[in-house]
Amino acid sequence: MYAQMLVGMVGTTGQWWLSAVRRPPRAVVAAHIVNLAWNGLSGLEKKPRI
């Protein structure tokens, strides 16, 4: 499930970047995606609840 979430996050951001004016630069967008994925996953709860 988490793998699909990550794929969606990257895929959707990539589509947005391609359809936009391609700003910020690709490397900056990639750095932000990695930052969110890496640091955002560090605080996951073992059994998340709504």
CA 33 distance to own-chain centroid: 4
Predicted local distance difference test score (pLDDT) of residue 38 = 83
The pLDDT tens digits for 1-50 are 989 999 999 999 999 999 988 999 999 999 999 888 888 878 777 887 87
Predicted local distance difference test score (pLDDT) of residue 43 = 78
User: Are the CB atoms for 29 and 13 separated by under 8 Å?
Assistant: yes
The model carries a pTM of: 0.76
Distance CA 26, CA 24 (A): 6
User: Are the CB atoms for 14 and 32 separated by under 8 Å?
Assistant: no
Predicted local distance difference test score (pLDDT) of residue 26 = 93
Return the amino acid letter for 1. M
Residue bearing tokens 């930052």: 35
